A and B are shown apart, each in its own frame.
Chain A
Amino acid sequence: MSSERWHITLAVARYKQGADPHIQIFELEVDPDEYVLDAVERVWAFHDRGLVFRHACHHSTCGACGMRVNGQEKLTCITPIRAVCQKDGTLKIEPLRNFPVVSDLSVDMTSLYTRTESAAGAQVLNLKHSSLPFEKNLFPDDGLEHERLSDCIECGMCVSACPAALTDAAYAGPAALAAAHQTVVQKGLSALPAWVDSAEGVWRCHSGFECSAVCPSNVDPAWRIMELRRLVILNRVRCLFGLNKD
């Protein structure tokens, strides 16, 4: 951390149930190499203990601190202030879109959690199933099994960014579809959840690719949704010609 100090303004979206939503302005002195989450915490610590926001690990593993910074989805614990603001600049901080706001910057993530759970996505995966196929293999083939945690941290930023999720509460959403693809990679097409090949599954996506643009964790949900489309269509065509058992 440097000893540089910036004056910045935070325009924070406030909302308490039963009251009108509004933007509240806070003037802060910050180290520009600190993170946006640190600035939000400063507001809580020194200005308003009533500010509600989700945060936990502070190192992009838990997925709790997703917010909209100047309108764009960011994982605030790894977004340096310097990257999104200038000296004497203003940062607009808002909660994620497309989830009901519980209080201030904290949203109700229930729909995301229940949907990814129904995709039966595993958290621990064999390395050959856990990385995207076009990524470089980081480990030599030493004949041993390698495992790691799957990439998705369920931060919900993809759902927030998705234009289909904006108007359609029934849409499965990029996170759940990405989890479904992960399941298929691991267990085969027969493990495909039924809701994927439906009007509220892969066919609701309009190829905006915004989900992959904002994902902080290399899930690439858009690529996975396109893969699911390809797999589902190929499977259906094969079934039509009687080339498949299912």
Chain B
Amino acid sequence: MKTPENSWLWLYKIVAGLLIVALLGIHFVVNHAVAPEGLLSYADVANYYQVPGIALMEIAFLVFVVSHALVGLRSILLDLNPSPAILRTANTVLLLVGAFAIVYGVWLVFVIQSRG
């Protein structure tokens, strides 16, 4: 009955989830403090990302949200008792999708920051 253990991945999902809750709180407070009327235009967003620390906070938020979501999707897939081949394929796809989303998001942050 032994199958590959998942304890670290599960623990990561929990820890990432708690960090997301914390970062979400920070994200909303900071958003409101920097732009009380909202980030309603391109100029607003560009100015927002000039504030020191915000880029790092948003990137951290992105990393934890993407990884938590994809580990979670994998967990739902595991509930369906997939074959080892399907699981291996899913692992690769999820890893690639996650890496792409994070790289893309980080690139976007730098693009916006540079246009402020």
Contacts and interface: CB of A to CB of B under 8 A. Distances in A.
Contacts of A203: 5-7, 9-10
Contact of A200 (B1, B7, B10): B1
Given A203-B7, A233-B7, A236-B7, A195 B79 contact: no
A164 B75 CA distance: 11
B81 interface: yes
Q: Which 7 A-B pairs have the closest CB atoms?
A: A195-B1, A203-B6, A168-B81, A199-B6, A199-B3, A198-B3, A203-B10
Nearest to A203: B6
Contacts of B79: 164, 167-168, 204, 206
A167 B2 contact: no
15 contacts: A167-B79, A168-B81, A195-B1, A195-B3, A197-B7, A198-B4, A199-B6, A200-B3, A201-B1, A203-B6, A203-B10, A204-B78, A232-B7, A233-B11, A236-B7
Contacts, number: 49
A191 interface: no
Contacts of A45: none
Contacts of B85: none
A206 B10 CA distance: 11
B19 to A, nearest CB: 17
B40 interface: no
Nearest to A170: B81
A169 B83 CA distance: 12
Interface in B1-47: 1-11
Residues of B in contact with A, size category: 10 to 19
Interface of B: 1-11, 78-81
Nearest to A200: B3
Looking at chain A's contact residues, is the secondary structure mostly helix, strand, loop, or mixed?
Answer: loop
Contact of A170 (B1, B6, B7): B1
Contacts of B8: 236
A106 B8 CA distance: 40
Contacts of B9: 203
Contacts of A218: none
A198 B1 contact: yes
Contacts of B10: 203
Contacts of A233: 7, 11
A211 to B, nearest CB: 16
